């Protein structure tokens, strides 16, 4: 039965955005863990670690996210795990986000002057202490604007999870469009909701970047 596209549908779509946000949170957490390890590996003095991290990043940045989603969606059953869109998405987005965050954070870590490491060493701090008390606080400041920029990228890319049947904003849009037969109104609404989530973050990232450039 075809029904009208009304306020109820709009409210429904707005609520579907919570799954987009939940997936983003999951993807960012997973990606941050992988990315942190990669960034530290990339600046390691031990060459095999650097090479391994670099190969990982080259491969992930050279393949479409869609391929990772499908690989995990179908690969889970081969590994003997139950096929589930949440698990597949969690793996795929962690792998994908890790590669990009790893590169961003590596850039931030090497942007901190090498003399800062040496200063830490001359104070008798261990590697972990130098990292924790001297390098990280400075690197975080440098990394924040591009990290928020990537977060926006991630929010938009969660729409691809719709293709493996993960019901988030875009998938809900597809379902609403199929039942109301008003694709234009539905997808404009969906686009507006994404815009309302992403635009403030984009602006925030830009302001932080400007402030940081002034401070330097």
Q: Point out which residues bind other proteins (CB under 8 A).
A: 59, 61-68, 70-71, 74-75, 78, 152, 156-157, 159-160, 162-163, 170, 173-174, 177, 182-184, 186-188, 190-191, 194-195, 198-199, 202
Q: Closest distance between other proteins and the C-beta of residue 185, in Å?
A: 8
Specify whether the CB–CB gap between 99 and 57 falls below 8 A.
Answer: yes
Residue closer to other proteins by CB (options 104, 190) is 190
- What is the rounded distance in angstroms from the CA atom of residue 31 to the CA atom of residue 72? 16
**Could you count the other beta carbons within 10 Å of the beta carbon of residue 60?**
20
CB-neighbour burial class of residue 41 (10 A; exposed 0-12, middle 13-18, buried 19+): buried
* CA–CA distance, 118 with 63 (Å, rounded to integer): 39
Minimum CB separation of residue 68 from other proteins in Å reads: 8
Token reading at 151: 């977060």
Nearer to other proteins, 134 or 194 (CB): 194
What is the Cα–Cα distance from 171 to 23, expressed in whole angstroms?
A: 13
Give the Å distances, CA to CA, from 178 to 139, 171, 187: 47, 11, 11
Residue 35 Cβ, how far from other proteins at the closest point, in Å? 18
Nearer CB in complex with other proteins: 42/171 = 171
Q: Is 43 helix (H, G, I), strand (E, B) or coil?
A: coil
Q: Tell me phi and psi for residue 105, to 5 degrees.
A: -75, -30
To the nearest whole angstrom, how small is the minimum distance from the Cβ of residue 141 to other proteins? 22
Query: By C-beta, is 68 or 105 nearer to other proteins?
Result: 68
- If the CB atoms of residues 134 and 162 are measured against other proteins, the closer one turns out to be 162
Q: How far is the CB of 7 from other proteins (least distance, A)?
A: 19
């Amino acid at each position: 039965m075809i029904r009208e596209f009304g306020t109820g549908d709009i409210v429904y779509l707005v609520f579907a955005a919570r799954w987009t946000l939940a997936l983003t949170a999951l993807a960012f957490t997973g990606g941050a863990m992988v990315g942190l390890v990669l960034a530290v590996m990339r600046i390691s003095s031990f060459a095999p670690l650097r090479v391994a991290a670099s190969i990982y990043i080259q491969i992930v940045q050279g393949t479409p996210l869609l391929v990772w989603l499908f690989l995990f969606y179908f690969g889970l059953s081969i590994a003997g795990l139950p096929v589930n869109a949440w698990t597949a998405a969690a793996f795929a987005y962690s792998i994908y986000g890790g590669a990009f965050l790893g590169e961003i954070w590596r850039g931030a870590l090497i942007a901190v002057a090498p003399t800062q490491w040496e200063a830490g060493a001359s104070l008798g701090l261990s590697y972990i202490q130098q990292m924790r008390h001297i390098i990280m606080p400075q690197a975080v400041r440098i990394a924040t604007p591009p990290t928020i920029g990537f977060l926006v990228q991630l929010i938009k890319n969660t729409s691809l999870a719709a293709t493996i049947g993960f019901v988030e904003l875009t998938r809900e849009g597809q379902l609403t469009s199929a039942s109301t037969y008003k694709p234009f109104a539905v997808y404009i609404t969906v686009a507006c909701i994404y815009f309302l989530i992403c635009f403030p973050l984009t602006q925030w990232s830009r302001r932080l970047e400007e402030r940081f450039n002034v401070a330097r």
